[in-house]
């Protein structure tokens, strides 16, 4: 697939809707059997007796579903070079069978990389909402993307001078 989004195309402040997904009870149990076999992720009755009030998805399942939407509706058309990680991940509400989850992605910050002038770093926020408008998941983290044009030494020096000023 042709690359549509290079680092230069990911403007801070830009917001993308990355689609919706709706896990079934079977999906929730199947993930939990493999990766998170706690009773409230495996069984309706155990879910009802738990603090969640019903069968609900593993938090890692919710993250994996958000990743799938991100790949399908954004990364697949981008020059993505992977991610070093996240600086926060919050499971805010339980996800129940049949919930319709909508993912929104916001670019927070963008910067050149001194050691890899052909790659740029982006800091993003992912927010997933259910059909009631409740936020169920929020993550902030980093992604690396290939650039259309490599960073010049002047660009890197300018960025570092600005960052130095704002943090002092």
Q: Which stretch binds a second copy (CB under 8 A): 12-20, 73-81, 128-136, 155-163?
A: 73-81
Decide if residue 89 touches a second copy (CB under 8 A).
yes
Please report how many Cα atoms fall inside a 13 Å half-sphere around the Cα of residue 130, on the Cβ side.
17
Sketch the per residue contact string, 40 through 69, with a second copy: x for CB under 8 A, - otherwise.
Answer: -----------xx-----xxx--xxx-xx-
Alpha carbons 129 and 124: distance in angstroms, whole number: 16
Alpha carbons 6 and 61: distance in angstroms, whole number: 29
14, 24, 38, 149: which one binds a second copy (CB under 8 A): 38
Decide if residue 159 touches a second copy (CB under 8 A).
no
Rounded to a whole number of angstroms, the CA Rg of the chain reads 19
Alpha carbons 146 and 80: distance in angstroms, whole number: 6
Q: What are phi and psi of 67, to 5 degrees?
A: -65, -45
Decide if residue 123 touches a second copy (CB under 8 A).
no
Contacts for 62 with CB less than 8 Å, ≥ 6 apart: 91, 95, 101, 128, 136, 137
Q: Whole-number minimum distance, CB 127 to a second copy, in Å?
A: 13
Decide if residue 130 touches a second copy (CB under 8 A).
no
Decide if residue 37 touches a second copy (CB under 8 A).
yes
Binding site for a second copy (CB under 8 A): 31, 34-38, 51-52, 58-60, 63-65, 67-68, 71-72, 75-76, 80-92, 141
């Amino acid at each position: 697939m042709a690359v549509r989004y290079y680092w230069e195309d990911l403007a801070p402040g830009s917001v993308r809707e990355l689609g919706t997904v709706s896990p079934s009870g079977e999906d929730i149990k199947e993930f939990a059997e493999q990766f998170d076999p706690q009773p409230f992720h495996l069984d309706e009755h155990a879910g009802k007796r738990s603090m969640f009030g019903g069968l609900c998805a593993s938090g890692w399942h919710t993250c994996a579903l958000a990743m799938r939407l991100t790949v399908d509706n954004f990364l697949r058309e981008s020059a993505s070079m992977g991610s070093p990680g996240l600086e926060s991940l919050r499971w805010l509400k339980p996800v129940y069978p049949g919930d319709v989850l909508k993912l929104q992605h916001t670019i927070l910050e963008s910067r050149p990389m001194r050691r890899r002038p052909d790659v740029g770093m982006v800091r993003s926020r992912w927010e997933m909402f259910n059909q009631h408008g409740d936020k169920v998941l929020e993550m902030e983290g980093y992604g690396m993307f290939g650039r259309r044009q490599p960073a010049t030494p002047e660009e890197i020096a300018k960025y570092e001078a600005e960052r130095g000023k704002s943090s002092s």
